[in-house]
Structure 1
């Protein structure tokens, strides 16, 4: 890989190009702090960083409008606030949260580097790109790309379905997705000034971020805004139907003790109170109330991957990935759900964690006959992963292959955490390998030689897709039926055809239920 390093000479050269249109009083400052347009950033870990750039503004439950490019000079050296949410503390939260961040090896409009735009996880409800695991400096430097990370509206603010209240709310249910489209339009229009190529834009995202990308692939207004895509343990086979989405809005309003028709109170109440309503029970799936994309027939006129892959997505080269034991990240091996786990109670404990309606007693019998040496814990995590998180990715890859989209590549992360042996290879563990943030807080990758080798391989794969339209690992075979070639990322990186075949076939005997539908 090329490693881009920022020296004083580079800064001076970049500043000279960019300052030619700048007012004279700002010219001297741009020599020591990079400036693009009206935004002044900073040097960070060998690249230039521009943080907290506003890309839009929005009133509650209304479609966002783009932020003008021209205007008074602004500092871009710290992250903007994140979307209000219940699960995250310690960060500034605000409904005014439409900010993005850019890391670039060189703020040269003639550089034309590939652009990688990251959408965060959190199942449409929580999360942000201020997490140190997703800071883009190392990926930009070591991958020689421009990295953009995006915050947007989440939970009820981004996805509550309010259209039954009138035309004023016609875009509700998909406002969070429309925020992402607005951010991609910003990239199209302005990323060249930061050294990026607007004709080589890749979107990538983990968990909910991957699901957002899958949904964008069925949204007409997102067409041509990105050219390649990668999803990491994130899939969206189906959106919420409007009836289910409406029942969730009503559950939210009931939890807030509002009359069923009092949308004005919902629109004007303090956001802190609105967040309290997210503790409502989901009337469709149980658990916390779910808000996600809605099949509104305008912004989202079809399900992303049902009954097949959206036609507009087939020409987009795509990586789809999954982690071998996803559920170890949120079904704590040290927590009460695993305490006292045995062959006698494992079926009952598996049942509430799966999204495919199969008899858990029968499921356990199949696992024990296939893998007689596995412990109850191994069966528990394999079954809950294969019956909950993994099938959506299999469906998406298979639908693309069935439709003749040859530019599809699939991976499986198998490397267990050397930091926490009980964690295994769990949900989110691919993030630090792709971003190169092995030593960031929250990383379970370790920083040993094996971790560094795997990070280089995964970075190469992702940046190669951004740059050329195919992964940067020549040995990675495209995913086709019936072989289902899969890159296994472990201490040894290798291709296997249809790993976990018998588990895939077992869980395919009943329909997959998309979480949230």
Structure 2
């Protein structure tokens, strides 16, 4: 690896720690410690491509943990609009990407609660190097914060058992296996950072939030976290086993190579195959976990309803205008990924839009389309997950972020990802600071301070200039969808 050193302010000192695999040299400043690029698994390279992650090997000497690791191979991220300041910066890419970053309070702190965070990015982009995932604010608040890098795209979500044999069983869920391996490493090692392995909250946003929901239903992940936070996610972005096999068949046809050749194809060529796959159309992205194997025997909602999912406390949140970048981008020609941010409603929702036009005559076309797409992609799946978890006896709290962006083309809207900087403590002024305090309180106490959610009243905290608790907000939108058979959700959404 040829990684650039992290910037070190004058008051930064080195600090060392011993984990099960060896000694790490990190940095300490401002009352907290930081360890970057900590390996939690063997690199999935060479013959290990597509195969399950193995525990990391030990090393001799002192391993430097002051520079970022490479991110998983991915296309560049231009953000949600030209000049988006929150787009992921250009980073070194490599299949050797199974690393985590850890921020911990100063040595000697009492056993601290732990937040393990899974990044977003449509299962195609993203990583721990994105500046928003700097966990210093959590460490200052007495929380050990862990961010996890994992495989993405076709390298993490392509099921090849039917082509390459039993060794490749679950290759379509390799990325989920990476996340579980990271949680196992946290269980075994987080104590030396001052973290309490029995007070782990697993959180994530967007694709990361959907992965959290999936891991709720994963038998191997049970007991590895005691609470969950899902921001802009739900439990329905999954494939059937047949859909997973069909995806692999399409990739093999597209590349003109056999399945065995995919194990050795240079990763830039794999990205090119992924690009051609996505350009083939389809409103929903095909790279997602599949149901039917050992990692995910049942869809999350079905697993919850079966009583096999531990009733862990759950905090669920969405933003009011999640899909506004899609709708405005379609008009302004700057939506960066039409495969996921499609501005068009699916064919079977056109009647809902007609009904919405009559129900909301004062709402303009942009606001109406945004409300419907936001409900279909984020809010209704989150609500269905909250309903299922609450019915199973788990304590659930739900909130909606109504804090609008103040600059850029999304000013005036509470858009997708707009809440991340607030949640991570990078916006200390009110009202955004409430989001960070809310998340810290949940990680510490596995509870929120407003009414618990139940499927009857659906009490939800709405954060804007202040925090108010509302009964069943968005009931009119849910009724529109329910009238046309969209009340239950399902696989492949």
Shift of 1:366: 2.9
1:5-84 aligned at under 5 Å gives the runs 32-37=13-18, 38-44=23-29, 46-57=31-42, 58=44, 59-68=48-57, 71-84=60-73
Equivalent residue for 2:317? 321
Q: Does 1:479 align with 2:453?
A: yes
Q: 2:267: which partner in 1?
A: 271
Tell me the residue number matched to 2:4: none
* Aligned residue number for residue 467 of structure 1: 444
Residues 339-398 of structure 1: per-residue CA shift (max 9 Å, x gap): 9xxxxxxxxxx996346833x2x4334333333322221112112212332221111011
Distance 1:330 1:151, change over 3 A: farther
**Residue 418 of structure 2 corresponds to residue 429 of structure 1:** yes
Q: 1:85 aligns with which of 62, 74, 90?
A: 74
Once the two structures are TM-superposed, the CA of residue 310 in structure 1 deviates from its matched residue by 5.7
Alignment of 1:9-408 (within 5 A): 32-37=13-18, 38-44=23-29, 46-57=31-42, 58=44, 59-68=48-57, 71-88=60-77, 90-108=90-108, 111-141=110-140, 143-165=141-163, 166-237=165-236, 239-258=238-257, 262-281=258-277, 286-287=282-283, 290-306=286-302, 308-309=304-305, 311-333=307-329, 335-336=331-332, 353-354=344-345, 357-358=348-349, 360=350, 362-405=351-394, 407-408=395-396
Unpaired segments of 5 or more residues in structure 1?
A: 1-7, 12-30, 340-349, 439-450
In 2, Cα distance between the equivalents of 1:312 and 1:170? 23
Question: Does the aligned pair in 2 maintain the 1:99–1:151 contact within 8 Å?
Answer: yes
Q: 1:402 offset after TM fit, Å?
A: 2.5
What is the CA-CA distance between 1:283 and the residue it aligns to?
A: 11
SS in 1 for 2:373: helix
Contact map agreement 2:238 2:491 (CA 8 A) in 1: no
Structure 2: segments with no counterpart, 5+ residues:
1-9, 78-88, 336-340
- Could you tell me how far 1:190 is from its partner in structure 2? 0.7
Give the aligned partner of residue 85 of structure 2. Answer: none
Q: 1:326 to 1:352 in 2, by over 3 A?
A: closer
Distance 2:471 2:56 in 1: 47
3-state SS of 1:221 partner = helix
- Which residue of structure 1 aligns with residue 82 of structure 2? none
Cα separation, partners in 2 of 1:157 and 1:295, compared to 1, 3 Å: same
Contact persistence 1:84–1:93 (CA under 8 A) = yes
Question: 1:49 Cα shift?
Answer: 0.7
CA distance in 1, matches of 2:323, 2:343: 13
Shift of 1:292: 1.2
Aligned CA distance change for structure 1 residues 285 and 389 (closer, same or farther; 3 Å): farther
CA contact (8 A) 1:152 1:176 kept: yes
> Which of 394, 407, 411 lines up with 1:419 in the alignment?
407
The 1:233–1:242 alpha-carbon spacing in structure 2 relative to 1, beyond 3 Å, is same
Deviation larger for 387-396 or 212-221: 387-396
Rounded Cα–Cα distance in structure 2 between residues aligned with 1:224 and 1:504: 34
The question of whether the paired residues in 2 share the 8 Å contact of 1:133 and 1:431 is answered with: yes
| Contact preservation (8 Å) 1:45, 1:138 | no
Change (3 A) 1:308 1:42: closer
C-alpha change, 1:244 and 1:283, in structure 2 (3 Å) is farther
Greater Rg over alpha carbons, structure: 1
Say if 1:55 and 1:422 are closer, same or farther in 2 by CA, change over 3 A: closer
**In structure 1, how many angstroms separate the alpha carbons of the residues matched to 2:33 and 2:103?**
6
Q: For 1:95 and 1:422, locate their aligned partners in 2 and report how far apart those are by CA, in whole Å.
A: 34
Whether the aligned pair in 1 keeps the contact of 2:232 and 2:382 (CA below 8 Å) is yes
Cα distance, 1:92 vs structure 2: 0.5
Give the SS at the match of 2:223: coil
| Structure 2 Cα separation of the partners of residues 417 and 186 of structure 1 | 37
Q: Per-residue displacement from partner, 1:226-257 (whole Å, max 9, x unpaired)?
A: 00110000122262111111111111122212
Distance 2:218 2:183 in 1: 13
Report deviation, 1:266. 0.5
- TM value normalised by structure 2: 0.86
Cα pair distance change 1:42/1:283, threshold 3 Å: closer
Distance in 1, matches of 2:192 and 2:253, equals 48
Q: Contact 1:238 / 1:303 at 8 angstroms: preserved in 2?
A: no
- Report the counterpart of residue 447 of structure 1 in structure 2: none
1:223–1:312 contact (8 Å) kept in structure 2: no
Tell me by how many angstroms 1:195 deviates. Answer: 1.1
Give the deviation of 1:123 after TM superposition.
Answer: 1.9
CA RMSD of aligned residues (A): 2.6
Change (3 A) 1:245 1:280: farther
Q: Distance in 2 between matches of 1:371 and 1:410?
A: 25
Deviates more, 1:362-371 or 1:413-422: 362-371
The answer (yes or no) to whether the contact 1:433–1:455 under 8 Å persists in 2 is yes
Normalising by the residue count of structure 1, what TM-score does the alignment of the two structures yield?
A: 0.82
